[in-house]
A = this chain, B = another copy of it.
Amino acid sequence: MRKARPGGLFYWQNKEMLTYPNFNFEITYQDSKSRAKTGILTTPHGTIETPNYIFCGTKAAIKALSPTQMREAQTDIILANTYHLMLQPGADLIQKMGGLHKFTGWDGPMLTDSGGFQVFSMGDGIFANEIKGKKQKVEEGKNSLMEITEEGCTFRSYVSGEKIKLTPESSTEIQVKLGADLFMQFDECTPYHVTKDYTARSMERSMRWGDRCLTEFERHHKGTQALYGIVQGGVYEDLRRYSAAYIKDRPYFGNAVGGCLGGTDEEMTNAVEWSMDGLDLTRPTHFLGIGQIKDVFRFVRYGIDTFDCVIPTRLARHGAAYIKGVRGETINIKNARYRDDPEPLDPSMDLSCSNYFSKAYIHHLFKADEILGMQILAQHNVAVINRLMREVRAAIRAGTLDALEKEWLGK
């Protein structure tokens, strides 16, 4: 048993006992000039190469794509959201149906988040406005739909309207029932427009919540799941470093970078760098909710191993298709210029799912409000991102990441 860390944090006492026998993270190549690396992440549902991209199956389904179509697009790993699933259909139901893998038919590696982010982002108070880009006066730790206490947080279900409490213990228990391979500690996703003092207090609470998650996790631990700790600390160097040190000091299987990342590229980069400085990078590190193509190129250099973001399928629903080398990453297929374009979206790529169709046809499907349009673009975007990640891994090994970035971002 070690001494408690400064700051009066509750110290998780059984550190040495928590191991992950069915999981592994092996670094296969380390760049000499940056933290960029390739690795192999092993889970009970398969092994993936890193850096990799985790696609969002929010409500236990990728929007408009079946598991078969995800595999056709060469997907390695997906995630589902605890918040949505605990409300509908409920964690007990999914457990009864054999867990998320059996329920959804996705038999590869899977991750769940803790539910915290959605609780803090889906209300109509400051946290939601923060995430939605609206600034307003801050009333810390509370909005009209959600309240945070030391025990956890309370919010109203958007499905039933009833009041629901989510705690480190219940988030952990729910994620155990869901049965994903990788899961996240319960934390508060601290907003931007709060004081440094609030950010510090929120971070420390998330650390205490993290210890409670570890304790609850150990109680259920059968070796089939692995827990990630989340670095908080907002845009403040001392807090990020302090939070990272906490994560490093605890027996998490993986690291995640979360919380407020600021409003500028520089703030985001700093927040990541300070976090990564303090983390144990022999553990896999996930970047929560970030995943534009430019982000992938920027943050693999800081050592990020996995990304997740809803945008590949969300963009698809709005008619935006990723094209390698296009400025802004996507084209809008609804643009009139594609009305009579007989070419596929990207003939240079081996994308059988979308190369089957002309841009003119996909344009027509969007004009005609045919669901097939978003299905085609969703599969296209997922396939392009998976191709991106394969090329990124190869470029890291070859030392050609700068050149690849120029190819993709059209700079």
A360 touches B93 (CB 8 A): yes
- Bound state CA distance, A113 and B33, in angstroms? 65
How far in angstroms is the closest Cβ of chain B from A249? 39
Of B59, B98, B356, B372, the residue contacting A61 (CB under 8 A) is B372
Of residues 24 through 82 on chain A, the ones whose CB sits less than 8 Å from some CB of chain B are 59-68
Cβ-defined contact, A356 with B105, below 8 A: yes
Asked if B367 and A89 make an inter-chain contact with CB atoms under 8 angstroms apart, the answer reads: yes
A375 within 8 A of B: yes
Q: Are the C-beta atoms of A104 and B361 separated by less than 8 Å? A: yes
How distant is A101 from chain B, measured CB to nearest CB, in Å?
12
Could you give, for residues 83-116 of chain A, a 1 whenever the CB lies within 8 Å of some chain B CB and a 0 otherwise? 0100011000100111000011100000000000
Knowing A98-B342, A340-B93, A368-B84 touch, does A105 contact B357 (C-beta < 8 A)? yes
B375 in contact with A89 (CB, 8 Å)? no
- For A376, list chain B residues within 8 Å (CB): 66
Stoichiometry, as copies per complex, reads 2
Partner of A372, one of B62, B360, B368, B370: B62
Which B-chain residue is minimally distant from A374 (CB atoms)? B371
B-side contacts of A98, CB under 8 Å:
342
In angstroms, Cα B339 to Cα A61, docked, is 16
Max count, chain B CB within 10 A of own CB: residue among A60, A98, A363, A364: A364
Q: Evaluate contact between B61 and A370: CB separation under 8 angstroms.
A: yes
Q: Chain B nearest CB: distance from A332 CB in Å? A: 17
Verify if A225 is at the interface (C-beta below 8 Å from B): no
A395 within 8 A of B: no
Does residue A386 face the partner (Cβ distance < 8 Å to B)?
A: no
Chain B residues near A84: list those with CB within 8 A: 368
Q: A409 CA to B184 CA in the complex, in Å?
A: 50
Least CB separation from A65: chain B residue: B372
Neighbouring B residues of A97 by C-beta, 8 Å: 340, 342, 358, 360-361
The reply on A365 being an interface residue by CB < 8 A is yes
Q: Which of B360, B367, B371 contacts A103 (CB 8 A)?
A: B360
Given A66-B375, A367-B88, A96-B60 contact (CB < 8 Å):
no
Partner of A364, one of B60, B67, B339, B360: B60
Which residues of chain A from 260 to 310 have any CB-CB distance to chain B below 8 Å in the complex? none
A84–B376 alpha-carbon span in the complex (Å): 21
Q: How far is the CA of A187 from the CA of B130 in the complex (A)?
A: 60
User: Quick one: CB contact mask for A366-396 with B, threshold 8 Å, 1 for yes?
Assistant: 0110111111100000000000000000000
A370 touches B104 (CB 8 A): no
User: Could you tell me the distance between the alpha carbons of A93 and B363 in the complex, rounded to whole angstroms?
Assistant: 12
| Contact, CB under 8 Å: A356 / B64 | no
In chain B, what residue has the closest Cβ to A92? B340
Residues of chain A from 309 to 339 with CB closer than 8 A to chain B in the complex: 339
Which residues in B have their C-beta under 8 angstroms from that of A357?
Answer: 105
Docked complex Cα distance between A297 and B256 (Å): 60
Known contacts being A97-B358, A97-B360, A357-B105, is A59 close to B370, with CB within 8 Å? yes
Query: With A97-B340, A105-B357, A340-B96 in contact, is A364–B68 under 8 Å at CB?
Result: no
Name 14 interchain pairs, CB-CB below 8 A, sorted by A.
A60-B361, A60-B368, A61-B368, A64-B375, A68-B356, A88-B364, A89-B360, A93-B340, A97-B360, A103-B361, A105-B357, A105-B361, A371-B371, A375-B375
Supply 20 further A-B pairs (C-beta < 8 A) apart from A63-B372, A371-B374.
Answer: A60-B368, A61-B368, A61-B370, A62-B372, A64-B372, A66-B356, A66-B372, A66-B375, A68-B356, A88-B364, A88-B367, A89-B360, A89-B367, A93-B340, A93-B360, A96-B340, A97-B340, A97-B358, A103-B361, A104-B361
Nearest 4 Cβ contacts at the A-B interface: A59-B368, A61-B370, A64-B371, A89-B364
